[in-house]
Amino acid sequence: MCKQCDCQSDQGCGCTEGHCNCGCGCECGGHSGHGFERRYPTKAEQIAELEAYLSELKTEVQAVEEHLADLRR
């Protein structure tokens, strides 16, 4: 487990001030207010964001279909 960010990594995290070697993407350097900061989302973050967006779109489609059904009555 990462001692700085509690990322639950089981890879023997070697976190020190501003560095994380566990491969978890936990951004331990961000805790000190300086150091490496990611600018781009990870693939997993992109997938999660797109899945959430898809869910919202499906909900909207359902609402539009229901509204059309009501208008056709």
In a shared domain, residues 20 and 53: no
Higher pLDDT among residues 17 and 7, named by residue = 7
Burial 30-56 (b: 16+ CB within 10 A, else e): beeeeeeeeeeeeeeeeeeeeeeeeee
In a shared domain, residues 28 and 50: no
Q: Encode pLDDT of 24-46 as tens digits.
A: 666 555 455 567 787 899 999 99
Torsion angles phi and psi, residue 2, rounded to 5: -65, 125
Instruction: Output the pTM of the full model.
Output: 0.47
In a shared domain, residues 55 and 23: no
Task: Note down the domain range covering 48.
Answer: 40-72
* Tally of domains in the chain: 2
Cβ–Cβ < 8 Å for 4, 27: no
The predicted structure's pLDDT at residue 1: 46
In a shared domain, residues 20 and 44: no
Q: Encode pLDDT of 43-69 as tens digits.
A: 999 999 999 999 999 999 999 999 999
